[in-house]
Amino acid sequence: MDTVQFLMDGFATALQWHNILFALVGVIIGTAVGVLPGIGPMSGVALLIPVTATITSGMPTEAAAASSIILLAGVYYGAMYGGSTTSILLNTPGESSSVVTALDGYQMAQQGRAGAALSISAIGSFVAGIISLIGLVLLAKPLSNLALEFGPAEYFSLMLLGLCAVSGLAGKSVTKALIMTVLGLMLGTIGIDAVSGIARFTYDIPVLYGGIEFLTIAVGLFAIGEVFKTILEREVDEQPIAKINRILPTKQDLKDSAKPIARGSLLGFFIGVLPGAGATLASFFSYITEKKVSKKPESFGKGNIAGVAGPESANNAASGGAMIPLLTLGIPGSGTTAILMGALIMYNVQPGPLLFNDHPDIAWGLIASMFIGNLVLLILNMPLVKVFAKIIQTPKKYLLPIIIAISFFGVYAVQYSTFDLYLLIACGVFGYLFTKNDYPVAPLVLALVLGPMIENNMRRALTISNGDWDIFVTSPLSLLFLIIAVAWIVVPLILKLLGRKVVINEEE
């Protein structure tokens, strides 16, 4: 009954008129962000953090944090839906988790069934969102209670696991992902050491004493980096957009989609809960599953509606599932949830087991707002499919100046520092160079957020044990987390080496 009462209190927060407005604006912007190829949820959320901070500046801290995170979460799951629009109409995924949707979605559009593909995508996203939120409601409190038993050693190992999980799954090369992780950890050490009071890597530059601001790094790497990429590579979208005739799916479409939506929702939720797995992996697993269980596997890739329904449900369910480790353990499972975590920390709200005790209005208000947001997404996106399709045609010459203006004004409004504007440009250049050379930027952002917390918990654990490092392996839970963290990095490398040996032997 406690959970039901907390959820009702959450709805009381989420149903305040300004929070309904924030949820509405969030899902609309999120859908637009998902529709525009290349921007994606990480860039969209990073770009809007300074905007929300400016809008909520006159509100009490607790209310400002709740409203901001409601809007940013709306952008997150709205972008998950919006990414399917370009996949289906242009064969150009709005973000990585919509890559699989393009395989059958674009074929359906070519056959004149674009409306059915888009509406099934919206229905699947709604069902998956609700299923993942029910899972979040049921698991949030028990998991946070369990996490309250954790000590500094367990927290250190758990955060290390979160770091290894994302680093091991981000990008094509584990080595490059680990390099970016170490770079993020190094950036996190800049500033005055909270324990000893010693200035680290500041080089007598006063502006560095407060450390490198997460917001500037995130907006620079993602938003400004994307601007540089578009300008320097002269990206032009000249693909013809498929026509949308009938919007509503037929009874047969609904019948064919029902089981894939259910399977994709459950599969996506459980994959989303795993730190580092994410929506992209969920959508791929869902597509493979649907192809395996189908009586006509040969029809996949040729316009099978199950190839749209399953993956789209999975990637939306995964975004809901990823909220569980973020809210209950303080471990972001993906780049986007790392940015959401950074936004909460900006308001002095620490995600983790104490969030539900110290800030119940924020935690349960966010969960309740996600129910409202998913309903708004369904109501908006079914009739407005054609409107969102038009967003794809926004010329880059109008879009890029808007992104640059929001980035600069937003960062300056929060930091009041010209140094941060120079840093923003530098991060944009590096963001472009990293992406161009296949260095994933998500591990860097995650390491920047988790690094100081990993260091603090390590030092607290060593203080408790009088400098004895055995504390990290004598605790069964801490040892388990460390073993899983090592396995997450080592097992893929072993499998890769074994695969190479098999290929060499076959060639011989």
Could you state, in order of their start, the residue ranges of all structural domains in the chain? Answer: 2-153+214-234+248-424
Condensed to tens digits (0 to 9), the pLDDT of residues 205-232 reads 888 888 887 778 877 887 788 788 888 8
Condensed to tens digits (0 to 9), the pLDDT of residues 448-461 reads 877 887 888 888 88
Task: Identify the pLDDT of residue 394.
Answer: 67
Residue 289: closest CA among 302, 316, 271 = 271
Task: Identify the pLDDT of residue 110.
Answer: 76
pTM of the model: 0.69
Cβ count within 10 A of residue 493: 12
Q: How confident is the model at residue 163 (pLDDT cuts 50, 70, 90)?
A: confident
CA 483, CA 501: separation in Å to the nearest integer?
26
Task: Identify the pLDDT of residue 505.
Answer: 54
**H helix intervals, 148-299:** 152-169, 174-188, 214-219, 225-232, 251-273, 278-293
Compute the average pLDDT of residues 54-68. Answer: 81
Compute the average pLDDT of residues 309-333. Answer: 82
Task: Identify the pLDDT of residue 386.
Answer: 67
- DSSP 8-class letter at 299: G
Condensed to tens digits (0 to 9), the pLDDT of residues 326-380 reads 888 777 766 778 788 888 888 888 887 778 888 888 888 888 888 888 888 888 7
Task: Identify the pLDDT of residue 183.
Answer: 93
Residue 429: closest CA among 220, 262, 275, 288 = 220
Name residue 265's amino acid: S
- DSSP 8-class letter at 172: S
Give how far Cα 247 sits from Cα of 83, 114, 129, Å: 18, 8, 21
256 is written with which tokens? Answer: 């064919």
| Contact by Cβ (8 Å): 99, 87 | yes
Tell whether the model's pLDDT for residue 318 goes beyond 90.
no
